[in-house]
Amino acid sequence: MEKIKAFIRSLTPRRMIVYIIGLFILACGITMNTKTHLGVSPVLSVAYNITQLTGIDFSLMTFIYYLFLIALQFFLDRAHFEQVQWLQLAVSFLTSAFIGLFDRVLPEAQGPVWQIVMLLLAVVLTAIGIILTIGARFVPNPADGLAAAIGRRMGKSLGLGKNVLDLASIALALLLGLVFTGGILGVGLGTVITMLLTGRVVALLQKPLLRLSGLDKE
117-135: per-residue pLDDT in tens?
999 999 999 999 988 988 8
Residue 195: predicted pLDDT: 87
Write down the pLDDT at residue 1: 61
pLDDT of 157 > 80? The answer is: no
CA distances to 126, 129, 153, 214 from 210, rounded to whole Å, are 15, 12, 29, 6
Alpha helices for the chain (secondary structure H)? 2-9, 13-35, 45-54, 58-76, 88-105, 112-135, 142-153, 158-181, 189-213
pLDDT tens digits, one per residue of 181-195 = 988 888 999 998 998
pLDDT value at residue 7: 67
The mean pLDDT of the chain is 88
pLDDT band at 2 (very low <50, low <70, confident <90, very high): low
Encode pLDDT of 74-106 as tens digits.
998 888 788 888 889 999 999 999 999 999 999
For residue 82, the model assigns a pLDDT of 82
Question: Could you tell me the CA-to-CA distances from 7 to 87, 139, 142 in Å, in that order?
Answer: 11, 10, 18
Q: Nearest CA to 104 among 64, 57, 65, 49?
A: 57
Confidence (pLDDT) at 70: 95
Q: What angle do CA 114, 130, 10 make, to 5 degrees?
A: 150
pLDDT at 71: 94
Residue 60 has pLDDT above 90, yes or no: yes
Residue 218: per-residue pLDDT? 65
- Using pLDDT thresholds of 50, 70 and 90, give the confidence band for residue 10: confident
Q: What is the pLDDT of residue 23?
A: 94
Task: Give, to the nearest 10 degrees, the angle between helix 189-213 and helix 112-135.
Answer: 40
What pTM value is reported for the model?
0.88
Query: pLDDT band at 196, cuts 50/70/90?
Result: confident
